[in-house]
Structure 1
Amino acid sequence: MYKFFIIALLLVGSSVRAEGDWFESFKKTATDKDLYHFLYAMPKGGDLHNHLSGAGFPEWWLELALAQEKRGYIYYTKIKINNCAGYGGNEFGGNPYLLYFKNIQESTYKKLSACEQSEYVRLQDMSAEQKAGWLNSLKLDSAHEGRDEFFQTHWQRLNELYMNHYVLAEILVRNMQAFGREGLMYLEIDCSPVGMRPDGSLIDAEEVYRYYKERLQQKDAVESGVTVKFQYALLRFAPNAEERLAQMYAFVDAHRDMYVAIDMVGREDNDKGHPLRFLPTLRKLRAQYPGIDLSIHAGEVDEPNKHIRNTLLLGANRIGHGVNLLTDPDTYLLMRHSNYMVEVNLISNLLLEYVDDYSKHPFPELLRTDVPVALSTDDRGMWDSNLTDEFFVAVKEFNLSWSELQTLGLNSLKYGFMNDELKTKLVHDYQKKMDKFAQQFQKGSQRVLSSKPPMRGFICNHYELCSTP
């Protein structure tokens, strides 16, 4: 890792360190819409914190679910609650009964009682009003919604939809295409090799892996220009999490061409997933498997605690979120000028109420005291956002310089878990693109700002960009 940093610094040279006076002048005169257009056109490095099952926009989910009928998949969604006897739901687990727009396969539907079946409708048969409700149910876009809505209903509504690897593969490719239009070069995404057949039986992980690999080799994926690597996601508070972790290590070790790391995910304020639970298991696994990286969610909580420190003790090289890092001064000092990076998700942290407003976010303190950070999108389909939105928030709220923008882009590549050869190439290509972009902008800014980037819900609602001339 140290050797690579030296190479990267040589590639970057003085251009990253030099302050962009032209960018400061642009910020002083640019409208918010001008700034957004600029940031959309700006080359971007990588998105290192992205959950595939949370990266699909609601309209994508619906369109792709309906398209699966040709493969034998029919989906039903819950539109009524008839208080059926013996429903067997678990309101505080993964199968809540009192939840509208929960999606199930036809194989599951056929096993329900007649009363429960009367609560569901095929996706194909939804009324216009039901369709609007279905689409809205997968977005976190209302003031009364927050982390409980997200953690306890969004995933439970998707339910058996995100067990369809054909749907997820298409969501992945659509993300690649959309990110490619934003100028992204590298995507490191949580993608677990799971799938379900129309009859409800599970598909072997090897078969799912082969399908993803073949899908990424098709023309539309390749032409996106985005390089993709996978992480295997572990739900940290699951009762069998240690057993699953051992299985994941074995799978990642056998499929290093596509899988580069394991990511521990899940609501951190569920104490059953506390970091030190996994220390004995990880030490045993490291004695067996060489060089498997860890990226672990930590510090995504309200109260001060030692979770980030304990996560580093587990062997993680990257910290997901790290919102409460400043409440642990010893760990904060350890991470300054270090090889440990914080994956910053500004929109996620606001919508899930880990910060009340951006003035409370630790991001600028971390960035400007040399804790390595990079911006990422987390569950962008549920936020109705993109990576440009993250950069817009960062520049708008924290007055980022051109040098800082480049640092964020470089970090998002330097701290990726890809091999050194690919990393060196991507860093080199990124710097060339950024230099060319800056030169072209300074020669004629209208060329850059003439594009009309798509603006989605978050940026439209939070900054009202879509209503401005």
Structure 2
Amino acid sequence: MAINKRLKPALFRAIGICAGLVAGVASFASNADEAWFEEFKSTADDRDLYRFLYALPKGGDLHNHLTGSNFSEWWYQLATNKKLNGGYEYYTRVRINNCVGYGQDMFGLAPYLMYFRNLQASSYQALSDCEKGEYKKIDALNGREKAAWLDSLRLDKKHEGREEFFQTHWQRLNELGRNPYINAEMLVKNMQAFAREGLTYLETMEGTRFYTRVDGSTFAPDEVADIFRKRLAEPDALATGVTARMQYYLLRFIGNAEEDLEWIYRFVDANRDLFVGVNMVGREDNDKGHPQRFLPTLRKLRRDIPGVPLSIHAGEVDEPNHHVRDTLLLGATRIGHGVNLISDPDTMLLMRNSDYLVEINLISNLLLNYVDDYSQHPFPEYLRMGIPVALSTDDRGMWDSNMTDEYFVAVKEFNLSWAELTSLARNSLAHSFVDEATKQKLLQDYDTRLAGFKKRFQRSGMAGLGDLVPRSHSFICKQYQLCEFSTPLMAAN
């Protein structure tokens, strides 16, 4: 139909007015839809806000180091329970005798002057008499020693930070983290705890090498993968309703990292039912692990192997640099941390309204001193600039925190709207590396659970949340004076 030229301006003005009215109605409807949440935020105290967020349906945790995600109490339970840990006995260093020589772990020489370094019995038996005198069975620790042992695996003191975390926590765990039965059990414990918080997906970082048998010999990688598969198929794991997958980690700064990457890439390709991606881990301020080091290797691998998803730590460093940009060049579609992305405006523009996701770790970034306080964190800028983001827990066991803590900090510190809050969960599922059919099922389930939660809360308020009570996490307790949450419930999470 031809339109009279004189009528065109008037018609276009009318269309514009109608479009504006439609947009205004949609905006009004959206604001009205969120009014209940804004009213709740304005009247709720911290305890009610925390309970609300604990009960809130959530999506997944995409940035989760398995051995760093386990609470100290869980480590103690499994270190001292042969029925659950595969029949292993463990010893820990409780004194320094100034013996000659000291042990070596897979990350290099461990500091000799380190209390609570853990060995399995086969390694203990190989020590000199002097060194044996430094160790004690973990299940024989007295009350004071046990409390110190538990504290040694978490950041619980003001002076502890980045160096304590990177240079002592993993070295203390030592052979506790090389038991596949313990790690498989820990995976299920995480699934159970996350299920209570309303998560339905977990994508954790772990490997299948360097695991040792009771006698000290080495497991084959395929054997370890099968131990994980078997544990995930047991009734209590299935009962969580949590879908669990793994990313295989690469320690980025070691001398043979390129060879490691080739082996890992091929192993993931051969075990895609369990492993869904590769992740480069390790201190980013060690320049030997810079991203472009791995570009030739990845290009060679991609010639022969269908794409293996990459989610790589980048921007977890103090200085401005182009590591996030270089990590995208490697083929990564998810960025772990991304704290210094804020100093690279060109890459920020590239990531706006894109398929690249930043895995945000608020508590980790604070405790490891990448920000001095939350007002410095770039998370709200990314969120409100249109860069896809999702909250994650990183090494939650070592912070003594959970996913609700991350949500609590995000809402309290940055005044998230209902649409922003719920986008975090959707992003965590939409950007997961799980197969498409499972992903769509998880997204549909999330929308159903969220609609039910919203309806219950709008009808019954706090009473509609039920009697779910979170454990008292030391992080939230200290930072926000929420210590009234009952500490005897700690074992329940």
AA aligned opposite 1:395? V
Deviations 1:406-427 (A, max 9, x none): 1111100000001111111111
Q: 2:139 aligns with which of 124, 130, 151?
A: 124
* 1:283 and 2:299 correspond: yes
Query: Would the aligned equivalents of 1:16 and 1:407 in 2 still touch at CA under 8 Å?
Result: no
* 1:140 and 2:155 correspond: yes
Aligned to 2:476: 459
Q: 2:60 aligns with which of 18, 43, 46?
A: 46
Deviations 1:347-402 (A, max 9, x none): 00000010000000000000000000000000010010110000000000000011
Query: Would the aligned equivalents of 2:357 and 2:388 in 1 still touch at CA under 8 Å?
Result: yes
Q: 1:159 aligns with which of 174, 188, 206?
A: 174
Paired residues for 1:198-237 under 5 Å: 198-237=214-253
Give the deviation of 1:468 after TM superposition.
8.0
Paired residues for 1:171-186 under 5 Å: 171-186=186-201
Deviations 1:89-117 (A, max 9, x none): 69x94422111000011111122221111
Query: Would the aligned equivalents of 2:470 and 2:485 in 1 still touch at CA under 8 Å?
Result: no
Taking only aligned residues, the RMSD between alpha carbons, in angstroms, comes to 1.9
Aligned to 1:106: 121
Query: Would the aligned equivalents of 1:107 and 1:200 in 2 still touch at CA under 8 Å?
Result: yes
* 1:296 and 2:273 correspond: no
Identity level (%): 60
Higher RCO, 1 or 2 (CA under 8 Å, sep at least 6)?
1
Paired residues for 1:372-411 under 5 Å: 372-411=388-427
* 1:34 and 2:48 correspond: yes
4+ residue segments displaced more than 4 Å? 13-19
AA aligned opposite 1:214? K
Bigger mean CA deviation after superposition, 78-87 or 163-172 = 78-87
CA distance in structure 1 between the aligned counterparts of 2:420 and 2:375, rounded to whole angstroms: 18
Query: Would the aligned equivalents of 1:16 and 1:406 in 2 still touch at CA under 8 Å?
Result: no
Under a length normalisation based on structure 2, what TM-score does the superposition of the two structures give? Answer: 0.90
Query: Would the aligned equivalents of 1:74 and 1:106 in 2 still touch at CA under 8 Å?
Result: yes
CA distance in structure 2 between the aligned counterparts of 1:101 and 1:369, rounded to whole angstroms: 45
CA distance in structure 2 between the aligned counterparts of 1:14 and 1:222, rounded to whole angstroms: 41
* 1:341 and 2:357 correspond: yes
The 1:35–1:221 alpha-carbon spacing in structure 2 relative to 1, beyond 3 Å, is same
Length, aligned pairs only = 456
Paired residues for 1:19-98 under 5 Å: 19-68=33-82, 71-87=86-102, 93-98=108-113
AA aligned opposite 1:292? V
Aligned to 1:170: 185
For 2:80, what is the secondary structure of its paired residue? helix
AA aligned opposite 1:408? L
For 1:149, what is the secondary structure of its paired residue? helix
List gaps (5 residues or longer) in structure 2: 1-25, 487-493
Query: Would the aligned equivalents of 2:471 and 2:485 in 1 still touch at CA under 8 Å?
Result: no
Paired residues for 1:371-450 under 5 Å: 371-445=387-461, 446-448=463-465, 450=467
Query: Would the aligned equivalents of 1:34 and 1:449 in 2 still touch at CA under 8 Å?
Result: no
List gaps (5 residues or longer) in structure 1: 1-12
Under a length normalisation based on structure 1, what TM-score does the superposition of the two structures give? Answer: 0.94
Query: Between Structure 1 and Structure 2, whose CA radius of gyration is higher?
Result: 2
Query: Would the aligned equivalents of 2:469 and 2:485 in 1 still touch at CA under 8 Å?
Result: no
AA aligned opposite 1:461? K
Give the deviation of 1:200 after TM superposition.
1.2
